């Protein structure tokens, strides 16, 4: 038996044995990823070659036929596919790979961003921006484990998640994919996602994680996806790098560069990023995969390579291991090797990394998934329960004037429900395929269920699903019904569903020049509120929205983000008090686009001169969120010592009491500020948080541990140091000063 076929042999030996048997074409083939055959076939009728340049969702390969992709698979010159969304196709393509000379299995990648939601009949959890509002790292890992199990049940092995970019621009349509604006929160949630997805990378329910996008795409020059990023090395190393390094330290198998150029160099040909930092500084030993046709864009967009082949050569020599996606890669790279531009050993390095993970995943022994067992895992009761619980914890109560919420269904005989997101599967968010109606609970359905045992009548006035093409007559009709109702609920926000790609207002490649409500939505809210009846606004969106008028004029606002397939039930349970909201904002909500960039951990001089005519403060700050309970913080203390030599620790403790009549969960947050330092530091930085469950009237003393690394900074030479001097330690319910208790500690 060949060593590579022997499951008892060490993986390193199997890799080397197989590598020694491969032709150059087969080696390069392992670095070659293509879109799925059915994806290609389905797009042939509607997509032209001219459509491909800016399209990052659909693909064809002009001049080629779907049957050619199948033949290349039989020849062993395809290593991976993406956009394969059914088990039948995955197994069929894998059978073709088994016909190749060496029978090397395929690696199937999928954008499983919040569950394997991009494929039908899978559990859809809240998107990352909402999940981060739970501040529940255990839940992040739990969802990742369930996602991995559902992926493997479909013969999928690799997800392009977690997105560990630090989101600092609300215009950017991909905020919803991220864990928000704070490096520490992004790091904590992202690391748990990596650990949950990958397990030990030796089991049948483990998949590869992909930490993306390296780097700067979340603070683009003009807010649009892929636009240039000019960011100092200091800001990179203090704000944007830490989550990525933590993901690498957690064992992430793959890393994906960003679409954009960074300080003049395209990330996909950036040796400093992919080799100097990622491999040499951080010790990354997985493989780097390109994003959608971004190596080609080094040539045809950025203009730093005169030909596509030159772009391929630059990218590989900078550290790229796998190409997403396109048919010209194998011939071009083989030619570059044969002509001496690329050493074959460099190709061997990439192939070695890719094969190692194929062996670790057990694909050589188990290349197929069982169609008879797949639905025993996907959408199973346990996963559905997790999706619902995650939605409950992710929703943020922004305003509750006069205690309007929770609602008592017995008080209202007629309830108006209206808005573009009231009765639509759009609540699942970006990266979601259309799911069966019985597997999605809309907000209208959730509300109707909650009042089913009362005499309340729910009247629905549809506004359609498209905010850009709302009908003024429907707005007028909702305003008329509002005058006869006892309570009005407007469900507004944005549209994210990918199967209507050109109609979306939020999501990948769907960036905006403002952050207000699109179309007639604000007019709808104003007209309904003019009825004089209590009006509640529920927002469904993947980016912060500047709903300043609503914040000033409505009594109650709920930020639901993209709460997943059971989001409608979760929203209704919070509206009617069956669940006490506990979510806290993972991203600042600015008042308007004019406040961008707006984030809590800014430098001291940022608002030295405030704006005129409008407040400098955001609409709602990072870490903010209300509850139906009330919590009081007291008796903040700090004991112990930290020394500048990196030794010691400080125990920070605070009493938190539930002073309300309802049980609740408070998310306590610890921030620090270095009062005086050799270089400017942020006004505050999140360094720890805890979810604290408290029954009505209960009090707990909550402890945090400050270690030297949490006080560290980069000095002028980029060395990590802890400087002596005083630090302010702040603990409370949000990042705003009035919500924080403060105490000073001294580093000796």
pLDDT in tens, 242-257: 999 999 999 999 999 9
At 122 the pLDDT is 98
The DSSP result for 588-617, as a single string, is -B-SSGGG-S--SS--TTTTSSPPSSS-SS
Query: Distance between CA atoms of 298 and 302, rounded to whole angstroms?
Result: 5
Mean pLDDT check: name the lowest of 159-163, 452-456, 597-601.
Answer: 452-456
What is the Cα Rg of the chain in Å? Answer: 26
Structure tokens at 344: 């074959």
**Angle 554-586-399 (CA atoms, 0-180°, nearest 5)?**
15
At 72 the pLDDT is 96
Residue 466 among the catalytic residues: no
pLDDT digits (tens, 9 = 90+) for 496-526: 999 998 999 999 999 999 999 999 999 999 9
At 646 the pLDDT is 87
pTM over 0.85: yes
Say which of 111, 206, 291, 321 is annotated catalytic. Answer: 291
Terminal CA-CA length for the chain: 64
- Work out whether strand 556-559 and strand 535-540 pair parallel, antiparallel, or are unpaired: parallel
User: Which band of pLDDT confidence, cut at 50, 70 and 90, is reported for residue 203?
Assistant: confident
User: Which band of pLDDT confidence, cut at 50, 70 and 90, is reported for residue 384?
Assistant: very high
Query: Distance between CA atoms of 556 and 626, rounded to whole angstroms?
Result: 11
Give the single-character DSSP code of 75. H
Q: Number of helices (H) and strands (E) in the chain: give both, helices first.
A: 23, 25
pLDDT digits (tens, 9 = 90+) for 414-448: 999 999 999 999 999 999 999 999 999 999 999 99
Query: Distance between CA atoms of 13 and 697, rounded to whole angstroms?
Result: 62
pLDDT digits (tens, 9 = 90+) for 18-66: 999 999 999 999 999 999 999 888 888 777 777 777 777 788 788 889 8
**Is it the case that residue 279 has pLDDT exceeding 90?**
yes
User: For tokens 């997805």, what's the residue?
Assistant: 197
* Bigger pLDDT: 364 vs 66: 364
Domains and CATH numbers, the chain: 26-376 (3.20.20.300), 395-595 (3.40.50.1700), 631-747 (2.60.40.10)
pLDDT digits (tens, 9 = 90+) for 98-149: 999 999 999 999 999 999 999 999 999 999 999 999 999 999 999 999 999 9
Alpha carbon 633 to chain centroid, angstroms: 32
pLDDT digits (tens, 9 = 90+) for 61-110: 888 898 999 999 999 999 999 999 999 999 999 999 999 999 999 999 99
- Let me know how long the chain is: 748
**Average confidence (pLDDT) over 314-324:** 98
Average pLDDT score over the chain = 96
Beta strands in 20-164 (DSSP E): 32-35, 80-82, 107-110, 158-159
At 63 the pLDDT is 85
Q: Where are the alpha helices (DSSP H) in 31-104?
A: 37-43, 66-75, 87-98
Give the single-character DSSP code of 222. T
User: For tokens 């903010």, what's the residue?
Assistant: 624
């Amino acid at each position: 038996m060949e060593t590579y076929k022997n499951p008892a042999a060490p993986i390193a030996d199997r890799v080397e044995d197989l590598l020694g048997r491969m032709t150059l074409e087969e080696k390069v083939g392992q670095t070659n990823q293509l879109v799925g055959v059915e994806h290609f076939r389905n797009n042939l009728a509607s997509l032209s070659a001219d459509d491909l340049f800016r399209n990052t969702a659909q693909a064809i390969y002009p001049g080629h036929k779907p049957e050619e992709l199948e033949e290349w698979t039989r020849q062993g010159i395809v290593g991976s596919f993406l956009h394969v969304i059914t088990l039948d196709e995955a197994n069929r393509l894998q059978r073709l790979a088994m016909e190749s000379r060496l029978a090397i299995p395929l690696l199937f990648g999928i954008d499983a961003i919040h569950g394997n939601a991009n494929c039908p009949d899978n559990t859809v959890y809240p998107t990352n921006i909402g999940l981060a509002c739970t501040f529940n790292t255990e839940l992040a890992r739990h969802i990742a484990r369930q996602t991995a199990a559902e992926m493997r049940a479909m013969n999928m092995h690799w997800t392009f998640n977690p997105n560990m970019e630090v989101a600092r621009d609300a215009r950017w349509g991909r905020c919803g994919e991220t864990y928000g604006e704070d490096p520490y929160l992004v790091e904590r949630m992202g690391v748990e996602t990596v650990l949950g997805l990958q397990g030990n990378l030796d089991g049948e329910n483990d998949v590869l994680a992909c930490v993306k996008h390296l780097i700067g795409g979340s603070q683009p020059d003009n807010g649009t996806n892929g636009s240039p990023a000019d960011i100092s090395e200091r800001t990179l190393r203090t704000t944007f790098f830490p989550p990525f390094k933590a993901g690498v330290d957690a064992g992430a198998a793959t890393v994906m560069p960003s679409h954009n150029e960074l300080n003049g160099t395209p990330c996909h040909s950036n040796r400093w990023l992919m080799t100097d930092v990622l491999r040499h500084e951080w010790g990354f030993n997985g493989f780097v995969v390109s994003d959608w046709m971004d190596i080609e864009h080094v040539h045809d967009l950025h203009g730093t390579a005169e030909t596509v082949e030159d772009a391929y050569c630059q990218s590989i020599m900078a550290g790229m291991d796998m190409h997403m996606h396109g048919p010209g890669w194998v011939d071009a790279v083989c030619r570059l090797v044969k002509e001496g531009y690329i050493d074959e050993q460099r190709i061997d390095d990439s192939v070695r990394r890719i094969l190692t993970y194929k062996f670790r995943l057990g694909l050589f022994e188990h290349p197929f998934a069982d169609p008879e067992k797949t639905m025993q895992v996907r959408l199973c009761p346990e996963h559905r329960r997790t999706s619902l619980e995650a939605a409950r914890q992710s929703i943020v109560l922004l305003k509750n004037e006069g205690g309007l919420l929770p609602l008592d269904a017995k008080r209202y005989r007629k309830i108006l429900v209206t808005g573009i997101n009231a009765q639509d599967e759009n609540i699942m968010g970006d990266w979601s395929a259309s799911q069966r109606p019985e597997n999605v609970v809309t907000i209208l359905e959730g509300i109707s269920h909650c009042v089913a045992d009362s005499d309340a009548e729910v009247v629905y006035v549809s506004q359609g699903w498209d905010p850009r093409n709302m009908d003024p007559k429907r707005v007028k009709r909702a305003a008329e019904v509002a005058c006869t109702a006892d309570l009005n609920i407007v469900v507004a926000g944005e549209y994210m569903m990918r199967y209507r790609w050109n109609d979306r207002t939020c999501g990948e490649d769907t960036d905006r020049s403002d952050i207000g409500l699109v179309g007639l939505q604000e007019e709808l809210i104003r007209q309904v509120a003019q009825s004089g009846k209590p009006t509640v606004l529920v927002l469904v969106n993947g980016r912060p929205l500047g709903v300043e008028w609503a914040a000033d004029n409505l009594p109650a606002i709920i930020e639901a983000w993209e709460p997943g397939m059971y989001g409608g039930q979760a929203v209704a349970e919070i509206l009617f008090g069956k669940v006490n909201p506990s979510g806290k904002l993972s991203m600042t909500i600015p008042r308007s686009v004019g406040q961008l960039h707006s984030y809590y951990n800014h430098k001291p001089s940022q608002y030295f001169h405030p704006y005129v005519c409008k407040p400098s403060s955001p609409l709602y700050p990072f870490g903010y969120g209300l509850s139906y309970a009330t919590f009081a913080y007291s008796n903040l203390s700090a004991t112990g010592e930290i020394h500048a030599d990196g030794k010691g620790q400080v125990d920070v403790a605070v009493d938190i009491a539930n002073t309300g009549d309802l049980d609740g969960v408070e998310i306590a947050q610890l921030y620090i500020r270095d009062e005086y330092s050799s270089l400017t530091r942020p006004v505050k930085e999140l360094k720890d948080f805890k979810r604290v469950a408290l029954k009505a009237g209960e009090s707990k003393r909550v402890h945090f541990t400050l270690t030297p690394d949490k006080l560290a900074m980069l000095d002028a030479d980029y060395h990590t140091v802890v400087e002596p001097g005083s630090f302010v330690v702040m603990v409370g319910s949000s990042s705003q000063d009035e919500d924080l208790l403060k105490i000073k500690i001294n580093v000796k």
